[in-house]
């Protein structure tokens, strides 16, 4: 079972209607998005849709701020079991809630949804007596939907029941015995799954090439009848790095290793969670703490160990996005940009389009400054590409990053044939490019672009489009 389409209307950052089509096969989705462009809202749409029935989540609590009740809104997710099976669409809104079906309820137990803030909870968790205690995080979040094989109950559910069974008095011998029996089953089941978690985490950490060993020290929960509470409800994280034990790893290990450890624990938990027909993994900027060399192992981890999941991977790092595109050519890719209209904000969703198309999309959304930024980028990318293709000599700079737009533009516009006529582009096109470079495509003028006439920006876009066509024709010939 795979998600084939996501439709959003007036959900959180997504003002109006937006559709992401993942094809009949239900492709994995790679998203690049600027900060504030709606990436996290898309993550929440998937997460809350799947959890809406189990957690009784109301759509109205997540409606876009700029719309009224009358404007409605929804999250619709379509699914297929295979390409040949019919597509089924489920809706979550104020009016309709179709997320009570078994496939979605089961998916809520197996889904993975992780952002950078959640990652921080793993490597900056509750500290007890100079040790890192993961008990609450494991029971209430990471392993909450994992099942105790001895009782068949989810650990979060089982723990909640145990907390309710603490007798008020030692004299309640039957209740004391029931509590002790429950704790025996709970302790055995948790110890068993922690051992699985340890082994799975070790396999994932090995991919990073770190000499790190993890252990989850759980001695078992016992009743403290005198104080009417439970003791031993702690899972102490033991980290062994280069044969050195770190009781408080976050004080000694760098952020890259802490991020790798946290990812390993989280992803390992998915490996021990129950299975379901729809398996979704959503990762939102969880690799911020890793440099590029430490991110690359994630590619093989996802390919080898999570190829049965439908993956939604989001990042604001454009370089990392481009690397992932090369490694996952069959994935669906989209880009999100922060668009602003006259009285509201909305994401601008661009699917595999050129910078010039992005400029047009921003202009359509009434964000003149953003349109100009991507128009200038389209111009710069094109003239650099042309100089490379035509082997045009560029002014030498000791540091390539110090090359300016002029270093590429001047040789193109000034090139002449032997008879003195323009070699590449005619004088009229040069005149219009220079005209719009002085204002619309001038990075120093962006502060005043909010009041720039729409038609002037459109004319600048038309000019750069003419330039692209002219340069393309030369290279093709």
Going from N- to C-terminal start, the domains of the chain cover 2-111+279-350, 125-261, 368-476
pLDDT at 54: 85
Q: What share of the chain is helix, strand, coil (3-state, %, to 5)?
A: 45, 20, 35
pLDDT of residue 128: 61
What is residue 452's predicted lDDT score, i.e. its pLDDT? 66
Q: What is the largest CA-CA distance in the chain?
A: 110
pLDDT band at 411 (very low <50, low <70, confident <90, very high): very high
In angstroms, the CA 333 to CA 55 distance is 31
Provide the pLDDT for residue 366: 80
Work out the average pLDDT over 287-307.
83
Query: What confidence category does residue 25 fall into, taking pLDDT thresholds of 50, 70 and 90?
Result: very high
How high is the pLDDT of residue 161? 93
Task: Among 137-146, 192-201, 216-225, name the one with the lowest average pLDDT.
Answer: 137-146
pLDDT band (50, 70, 90) for residue 416: very high
CB 122 within 8 A of CB 114: no
> What are 113's strand-pairing partners?
282
Average pLDDT over the chain, rounded to whole?
85
HSE of 445, CA atoms in CB hemisphere, 13 A? 15
Among 65-69, 74-78, 422-426, 439-443, which is the least confidently predicted range? 439-443
- Higher-pLDDT residue of 62 and 210 is 62
The pairing of strands 244-246 and 236-241 is antiparallel
* Across 423-446, average pLDDT: 82
Q: What is the pLDDT of residue 386?
A: 92
What lies within 8 Å, CB to CB, of 13 at 6+ separation is 37, 38, 40, 41, 64, 345, 346, 347
pLDDT at residue 179 in the model: 93
Pick the range with the lowest mean pLDDT from 128-142, 250-264, 277-291, 360-374. 250-264
> What span, in angstroms and rounded, lies between the C-alpha atoms of 76 and 299?
29
Alpha-carbon distance 111 to 101, whole Å? 16
Residue 246: how many other CB atoms lie within 10 Å: 17
Model confidence at 292: pLDDT above 70 = yes
pLDDT, tens digit, 9 for 90 and up, residues 315-358: 988 888 888 988 898 999 998 877 665 555 667 777 766 788 88
pLDDT band at 445 (very low <50, low <70, confident <90, very high): low
Q: What pLDDT is recorded for position 173? A: 83
pLDDT surpasses 70 at 187? yes
Q: What is the pLDDT of residue 400?
A: 62
Please report which confidence band the pLDDT of residue 426 belongs to, taking 50, 70 and 90 as the band edges.
very high
The answer on pLDDT for 158 being more than 90 is yes
**Helix H or strand E encompassing 300:** helix 292-305
Task: Summarize pLDDT for 451-463 with one digit per residue, the tens.
Answer: 567 888 999 999 9
Average pLDDT over residues 281-290: 80
Mean pLDDT across 385-396: 88
Token couple for 66? 């700029």
pLDDT value, residue 443? 57
Per-residue pLDDT at 399: 66
Q: Which fold has domain 2-111+279-350?
A: Rossmann fold (3.40.50)
Our CA angle for 107, 111, 115, nearest 5°, is 150
Task: Please say whether the beta carbons of 407 and 394 come within 8 A.
Answer: yes
Strands (E), 293-436: 310-315, 332-340, 345-350
Q: Determine the Cα–Cα distance for residues 136 and 143; give it in Å rounded to an integer.
A: 10
CA dist., res. 361 & res. 420, Å (int): 39
How many other C-beta atoms are found inside a 10 Å radius of the C-beta of residue 334?
A: 17
* % of the chain beyond a pLDDT of 90: 39
Pick the closest to residue 128 from 250, 266, 251, 247 (CA basis): 247
244: tokens are 């050195």
Q: How many CB atoms lie within 10 A of CB 117?
A: 11
For residue 448, pLDDT over 70 is answered with: no
């Amino acid at each position: 079972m795979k998600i084939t389409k996501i439709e959003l209307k007036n959900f959180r950052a997504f003002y109006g209607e937006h559709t992401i089509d993942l094809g009949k096969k239900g492709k994995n989705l790679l998203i690049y998005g600027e900060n504030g462009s709606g990436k996290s809202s898309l993550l929440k749409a998937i997460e809350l849709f799947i959890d809406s029935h189990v957690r009784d989540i109301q759509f109205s609590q997540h409606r876009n701020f700029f719309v009224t009740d009358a404007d409605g809104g929804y999250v619709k997710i379509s699914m297929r079991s295979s390409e040949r099976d019919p597509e089924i669409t489920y809706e979550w809104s104020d009016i309709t809630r179709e997320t009570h079906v078994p496939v979605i309820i089961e998916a809520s137990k197996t889904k993975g949804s992780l952002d950078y803030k959640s990652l921080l909870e793993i490597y900056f968790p509750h500290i007890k007596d100079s040790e890192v205690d993961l008990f609450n995080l494991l029971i209430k979040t990471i392993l909450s939907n994992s099942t105790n094989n001895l009782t068949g109950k989810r650990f979060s559910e089982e723990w909640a029941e145990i907390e309710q069974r603490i007798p008020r008095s030692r004299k309640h011998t039957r209740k004391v015995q029931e509590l002790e029996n429950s704790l025996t089953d709970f302790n055995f089941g948790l110890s068993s799954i922690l051992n699985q978690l340890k082994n799975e985490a070790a396999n994932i950490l090995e991919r990073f090439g770190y000499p790190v060993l993890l252990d989850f020290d759980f001695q078992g929960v016992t009743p403290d009848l005198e104080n009417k509470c439970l003791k031993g409800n702690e899972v102490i994280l033991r980290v062994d790095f280069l044969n050195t034990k770190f009781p408080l790893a976050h004080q000694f290990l760098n952020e890259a290793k802490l991020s790798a450890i946290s990812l390993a624990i989280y992803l390992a938990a998915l490996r021990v969670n129950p299975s379901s027909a729809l398996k979704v993994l959503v990762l939102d900027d969880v690799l911020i703490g890793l440099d590029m060399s430490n991110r690359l192992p994630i590619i093989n981890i996802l390919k080898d160990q999570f190829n049965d999941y439908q993956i939604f991977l989001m990042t604001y790092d454009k370089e990392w996005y481009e690397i992932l595109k090369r490694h996952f050519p069959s994935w669906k890719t989209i880009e999100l940009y922060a668009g602003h209209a006259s009285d509201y904000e909305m994401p601008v969703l661009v699917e595999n389009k050129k910078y010039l198309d992005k400029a047009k999309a921003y202009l359509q959304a009434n964000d003149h400054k953003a349109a100009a930024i991507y128009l200038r980028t389209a111009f710069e990318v094109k003239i650099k590409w042309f100089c490379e293709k035509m082997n045009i000599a560029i002014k030498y700079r000791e540091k390539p990053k110090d090359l300016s737009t002029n270093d590429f533009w001047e040789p193109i516009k000034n090139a002449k044939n032997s008879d003195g006529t323009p070699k590449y582009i005619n004088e009229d096109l040069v005149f219009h490019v220079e005209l719009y470079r002085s204002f619309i495509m001038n990075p120093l003028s962006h502060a005043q672009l909010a009041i720039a006439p729409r038609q002037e920006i459109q004319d600048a876009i038309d000019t750069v489009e003419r330039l692209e066509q002219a340069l393309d024709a030369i290279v093709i010939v």
